[in-house]
């Protein structure tokens, strides 16, 4: 399977997707067209996704996946069982607390969490932490 698609292949792919997914893929496609990154009408889809994610302030998915995988170890006992990492955007780690009652309690330990994450990933990956309750991440 190739990671590049023609305009005809793109339209076939988009026909089977919901509106939001189709819009995201069209944005990726158009980004490649505008920057001249296409090769005879073909656009490297994976590179397009990475460019769009970076333009939205999102780190490479591999870093977020590694953070999620290593969360219990990096977060420690105070955070590990009480909160889950959701996303990193523009250096801000959004963490969802397991219970709304512990959000404020965890907010007092964000500097230490940033230090532990920086010790593993480097200082630029996560520069601050925002803790929200279970339903608090809507619209972020």
- Spatial distance between the Cα atoms of 106 and 7, rounded to a whole number of angstroms: 49
Q: How many Å is the Cα radius of gyration of the chain?
A: 19
The tens digit of pLDDT for each residue in 24-52 reads 666 666 655 555 544 555 556 666 666 66
The tens digit of pLDDT for each residue in 102-139 reads 888 888 889 999 999 999 999 999 999 999 888 655 54
Contact status, residue 91 vs residue 125, Cβ threshold 8 Å: yes
**If you count them, how many residues does the chain have?**
140
pTM value > 0.95: no
Phi-psi domain of 36 (left: phi exceeds 0; alpha: psi -120 through 50; beta: other): left
Above 50 in pLDDT, residue 73? yes
Of 109, 132, 111, the C-alpha closest to 123 is 111
User: H-type helices in 19-130, by residue range?
Assistant: 19-34, 45-55, 61-80, 103-107, 110-121
């Amino acid at each position: 399977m190739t990671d590049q698609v023609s305009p005809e292949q793109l339209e076939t792919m988009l026909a089977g997707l919901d509106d939001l997914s189709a819009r995201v893929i069209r944005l990726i496609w158009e980004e490649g067209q505008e920057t001249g990154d296409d090769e005879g009408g073909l656009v490297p889809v994976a590179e397009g996704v990475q460019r769009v994610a970076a333009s939205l302030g999102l780190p490479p998915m591999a870093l977020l996946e590694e953070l999620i995988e290593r969360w219990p170890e990096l977060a420690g006992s105070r955070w590990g069982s009480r909160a889950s990492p959701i996303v990193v955007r523009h250096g801000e780690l959004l963490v969802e607390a397991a219970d709304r009652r512990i959000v404020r309690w965890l907010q007092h330990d964000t500097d230490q969490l940033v230090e532990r994450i920086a010790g593993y990933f480097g200082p630029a990956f996560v520069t601050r932490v925002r803790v929200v309750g279970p339903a608090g991440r809507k619209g972020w």
